A and B are shown apart, each in its own frame.
Chain A
């Protein structure tokens, strides 16, 4: 059983919801990323999504575009991200890490080299934003061979037929993109999210994480009522941007945000 699956199963049995924060690796400085990952876990994160910076993040809004730019200014590469996971695993063997990014850096490294290196580093899942299941027929079996999960997106526009197909190709969890738009753009509509997540759950039993549009403890709690996990990105990355010269302050700010979300998730009726 993958680390993601066992984490989500344990949470489910305890009737708790997964809190899944996202940061971009290398933002604002590569040497701070591992520290920030530990800090997120200490504040209550169950799974970490670690962004692989890309020069052309076309599904992301300005907040994550700028995070990519900051990381790339320091030359953060996919290899560096994998090294960060290695360093993280020296102290934390339990928290699953999902790499999230765009396909080209992986294409450039080569699928098999990437998969072997990621498995060795202690990566648990891979989500490539611009890789739908139709184009992932080579990568998914390679990931699964090394007990890593392929996480795919489901969107408000995804048809039932596609939902079934996506769930069949996914393992670990599926990531429901709660709004039509780029990351950090709009607030989610609870009724629409509820309807779509229920539909996904009717069609497949795989856990559903919901992301996009979650800004605070309250919206995290709203979404957690509907789904198995809550994914929080832009609001955290924005705190990093606002305090990019001050590591203790970043840790303090994202620590209190993530802790408040944790409490809200643990106090659901």
Chain B
């Protein structure tokens, strides 16, 4: 597959445009009360983005607090067992707090500091973004409130407790489907009420402009490192990139620095839930249509009347009916391919990576592993694949144990 437009760095710099659009996607679809804050945030970010002091502070935090660069690890035993492409894992699970999410919260917390906002709020699904937000809040002495669907509070109890230990208030959201989308609704309601003193740290590359742009920029460290590491280890670029896609922040972080590298194929893996054909999934790029939710136009799972449909995934972090607008655009221009794997396939991949490599991936990440294994088997042994190991699976032990009928 190749993109239907020629991608160059100069061309890519036009996205998002001044209104936050990636082609027909993105934009700022919010109620008027939030517009001024978004404009302020955009202006501040554009001014700071190339500011040497801001960059230095961000880079230092990533190095000394997060522990970057994260390794690019050749999964030799998995590669041997699969019998196809050489499989590398980009070890975002080794970051402080255990996932890629912290790359972004470090960046946004710095923005909050520069904007002088004493309070941060965040939405979370699996709790990784909530933990990463609570962590930076603790470090900077900011008040922090995290909105989390009641259903997710139950299935990610460990992360809820971590957030509380870090001094954050966790608000269980009881409206709607009680998952990530409802947490985001509630965070937007809080923000509109406390807009003067509150910075909203959105955890993914969705939401109104400038969030998809700035979260992408903060997460692109993943792909920049992976590109350089692959060149160093293999003397050439990879043939395929694989990452899971809920909102899509770890995927865009890996993909973005490779967009102009024509030979590099990209696979975003959505949550197929019980199977696309059952309708019980969270795969808007695979089975949805364009619409508007949470501040941006993107692919969505909505019914014939435009109501947002309830989603299903074993993974709380992928259980979301929308997706970042840049992914919607990359799908349309055919630069990236979006696929899905089922709950069962993801759970199998969780067990396989744990047993074969001694690495326990998050259930979100397990979707990328599952597809990566399938795809790698179809590739030649001299080809190279990088899978983004976006987070570690400690938080999911209870879910796995429950499925095994074990009480811990």
Contact = CB atoms under 8 A, between A and B. Distances in A.
Q: Do A and B come from one complex?
A: yes
Contacts of A134: 19, 27-28
Given A135-B28, A156-B33, A181-B192, A107 B295 contact: no
Interface of A: 54-59, 61-62, 65, 72, 77-79, 102-109, 129-132, 134-135, 152-159, 162, 166, 177, 180-182, 185-186
Tell me if A's interface is mostly helix, strand, loop or mixed.
Answer: loop
A108 B302 CA distance: 9
Residue of A58, A129, A132 with most chain B CB atoms under a 10 A cut-off = A58
Contact of B32 (A55, A61, A79, A158): A158
B290 interface: yes
A108 B291 contact: yes
A61 B188 CA distance: 11
A186 B194 CA distance: 12
A11 B24 CA distance: 42
Contacts of B184: 58
B32 A104 contact: no
Contacts of B305: 77-79, 105, 108
Contact of A58 (B32, B185, B306): B185
Q: List the 7 closest A-B pairs by CB distance, nearest first.
A: A108-B306, A105-B306, A155-B33, A77-B305, A153-B32, A181-B193, A59-B31
8 contacts: A59-B33, A132-B30, A134-B19, A135-B19, A153-B33, A158-B35, A158-B36, A186-B193
Nearest to A129: B31
A157 B189 contact: no
B31 A104 contact: no
A129 B189 CA distance: 13
Contacts of B195: 157, 180
B306 A107 contact: yes
B254 interface: no
Contact of B196 (A65, A72, A107, A180): A180
A185 B291 CA distance: 28
Interface residues of B, number: 40
Tell me if B's interface is mostly helix, strand, loop or mixed.
Answer: mixed
B33 A180 contact: yes
B181 interface: yes
Interface in B196-223: 196
Contact of B307 (A54, A79, A135): A54
A235 to B, nearest CB: 19
Interface in B128-171: none
B206 to A, nearest CB: 13
A205 B300 CA distance: 39
B37 interface: yes
Contact of B33 (A65, A106, A152, A157): A157
A130 B36 CA distance: 14
B294 A152 contact: no
Given A59-B33, A108-B291, A162-B32, 20 more contacts: A55-B307, A56-B176, A56-B294, A61-B189, A72-B307, A104-B293, A104-B307, A105-B307, A109-B306, A132-B28, A132-B35, A135-B29, A155-B35, A157-B36, A158-B32, A158-B35, A177-B31, A177-B32, A180-B33, A181-B33
A189 to B, nearest CB: 14
Given A79-B305, A134-B19, A180 B193 contact: yes
Contacts of A78: 305-306
Contacts of B304: 77, 108
Contact of A177 (B28, B33, B175, B188): B33
A132 to B, nearest CB: 6
Nearest to B186: A58
A104 B292 contact: yes
Contacts of A180: 33, 192-196
